[in-house]
Structure 1
Amino acid sequence: MGISINRIYSDNTGLKEVLIVENDEVIASLIEGYLNQKDYLVIDKVSKGEDAIKKAIRHLPKIIIMDVNLDGQIDGITATKYITSLFNIPVIFISGENIMTLPDDVTSAGAACLLSKPFNAGELCVNIEIALKNDAILKKSNNFVYNKTGILACQSIAELDAYFLLDDKGRIIFMNPYAEHMINQNESRVLMNSINKFILFYDTKTHEPVMDTYMNVVRESILFGGKANIAIKTTKNGYRHAAVRAMVVNDPFGNKVGTLFKIHFKSKAEIDVTGSKRR
């Protein structure tokens, strides 16, 4: 079962679910202790930006506490860009650095606010409540629009189609379980690598490879809504015919930050129908 679409933008559960993203285990535990004393439910603690994205997609917390500097391949700023772009989940940045020395990307990531370490429980909770109230006002406004790409990303967890979240250079930021199965690679081993390294399409008419998956399949799908006559080679003489779809991910300011790319393998019936339409 996937996550209900209503969970993304509703507050019917009444729970103030929090995801903590902090690479210092002591600080993460202190924050968890602060929140457990109040009316919050800490759903998880992670130390990497890539895990923050994965947890956000799987659990859709009401708010995220995010350190700017993290372990792993994806930092807090980059993770926040994708989380706020897909789900409008409020993110509170925390940092031990002087706020004035942080890059402009901190403000452009769409975070609700930034807290400097050290901070106390009162400061943290006040900022959480302000962020949650502002978020509730935003999502009740007439101008708020459901992010269909974010909904698809959530539903992808239970889908039998392959989904890849790519950055603007075609590097893999996230992929769903079926995509891991399809390329026979664990997500942690492919992150921040180009999709070109793992997916090669072929023209179903000529059986020639379509060189550069990102440029000639993903980007073409953005422009034209898909790409016809393509397949993925499975055996020496076998091909799995595919339908692809690419959806642009824009940040809260309307700037493109990436692409959600879907690969659906056609059944024989779907291939026959397509062939009949051509004839």
Structure 2
Amino acid sequence: MNNEKILIVEDERIIAIDLQRRLENFGYRVTGVAATGPQAIESVENEPPDIILMDIMLSGDMDGIDTAEIVKERFEIPVMFLTAYSDEKTLQRAKNVEPLGYILKPFKEKELYTSIDIALYKYSVDRQLKWQERWYSAMFSSIEDGIIATDTDGKVRFVNPVAVSILGRGSDELTGNPLGEVLEIYDSRAGRIDFTDLTNIPAEDLPFRFQDTILMNRSGDKIHVDGAFSMILGPRGENEGSVVALHDTSVVKHLSDRISYQASHDILTGLANREAFSMRLNSLVQNTLDVSITHALLYIDLDQFKVVNDTLGHRAGDEMLLQATSIIKSMVRTSDFCARLGGDEFGVILAHISISQAKLISERLLNRLVNHKMVWDDKVFTINSSIGLVKIDTESKDIQAILAAADDACFTAKEEGGNKIKLYDSTANIFQNRRNEMTWISKLNSAIEEDRLVLYYQPIVPLNGKYRTVKNEILLRIVSPEGDLIMPGAFIPAAERYNFMPTIDKAVVKKSLSAISSILREAPEEDMMFSINLSAGTLANEQFLGTIADLVTSSGVPSQYLCFEVTETAAISNMQVTNNFIKEMRNKGYSFSLDDFGSGFSSFNYLKTLPVDYLKIDGTFVSDMDENPIDRSMVEAINNLGHIIGTVTVAEFVRSKEILLLLKDIGVDYAQGYEIAAPSPLTQFSLAAPPLNASEP
């Protein structure tokens, strides 16, 4: 006995006292005795009992059934009726308040005890079930998955709020309807899922899971869902209903599709990117098994993109790419595959086409591009392009070789003036030379790794008493595995073409700094300077420039001993980056020389913005100035211009005493060339004066 509390509601005083005595003998605790309905309600408020024994006939206007109804609504305390009434009308009224018992007077003591005990147990179980129901309801309502439960007939008995939201129908519309009528889910492979058939699946195969399916809700929306179907089984394995769990994957699917799209497409143009293009090309090559089937690849480069991008800004460059994209898409077939391969380069795969047909499409595309007028800030541009055309057939086994061939053909078209189509022909000399150039990259890598870079130097001497510092330009050679000395003219074009110059520059700078440090340890007070060349590829790469700056500043070589040479064309093509680097390094005390000045007349405009210390007059003017008065005039004009803007002038390619005298008469500050000294290995650096004292030729 748990000493449960009981309230007695009985208007017969003697019966109430007798009932109280019996209950207390059973071990119950009687919290009070009430004779009327209001007294009973007041007693419940003061000390709620575990159960109420209620007579139906009570004094006053409220009988026991009326009182029990109020108690049920306000306090949810169980009631047992003890009454002498058993007529149908009274019984019907009593049923409506759902009592835990109905005992007719007179009753036996054991009957009363048993009924109370069973009623309390039943109430305890019922309360536990209701608590579990509330707990499960709260849990199912708070989880992010939709839950639908059915009865044995397959009709919906429960839906949580998430399921209501997914299905687009209210719970009252769903409840009572067959599951198959409210749940319409399609699998891309198997069609619509029949949930009625799923009830026949063996228990060991449950739960049945479905993924990447589409749910059609009442509004006609297509919702991506994953889910599971399970049976509710009784203690003997009988069917007691089913449960369907739905997880809305629409957001994840959308993000996944977006990520997948971004991974395979160019964000600006919406075309496929290089990776997707390579995959499509590889698939095409792998499936080209019939000798009668040919395809073609177009490699398109916009000739004027860099001019537009650098002079008008990136927005103008982007607009040119978008307009070119629109034209390319309009000129190829719907079965063809277009991609932006990077920068201003596009690729088009023309499937199942002869090379003659591909060439015809290329010509139409080229003409359409060049005839299109792009207007930006009142400026009009044509979209000139260079197109490389490659045939794809059963002999084409390697997509890298195909892309390389297309790039070669496109580059050749651009070298020949642009705005033309070049068909790749592996037997043509021009393409064989390109293939030979490509082999230089692996050779150069090996030379760097095996320390076969050799540094030479060539003195740059003053021509008058104004300057005393002897400058020395560091030059590069490579020793072949066989021991032969390879001049830069053999490998520099290939290195520039395949953007390998930054790697070479880094290796040369490191090796030069090490050699200069050794020389300075032998002659720390000598008045000398060393010039190191930086290529256009390095000047265009801010990361490499940062690496060069770090190498130089951490080397310990004092800044007054170092000068960097940049060519005129390299400086102009990367003006902003070059300017920033020059200013940063000059602030640290390093000098700069502008090489090959005069190779383009635009130089005179750009020179004003380049903060260089030395101006090297292009050797093509110097080498013949003793025989060509125009060249002499150019040297004189450049020298005067250099002095006006405050730079020290240097003449290179000095090949004779006559040229040396002319340079001195003109007033050029420094001279460099074979008449003064030929390049020598830096390991044999000499502090002695060059063979010819240039100040007294």
- Taking structure 1 as the reference length, the TM-score comes to 0.45
More helix by share: 2
Q: Bigger relative contact order, structure 1 or 2, given CA contacts below 8 A and separation 6+?
A: 1
Q: Which has the larger radius of gyration?
A: 2
TM-score normalized with structure 2 length: 0.18
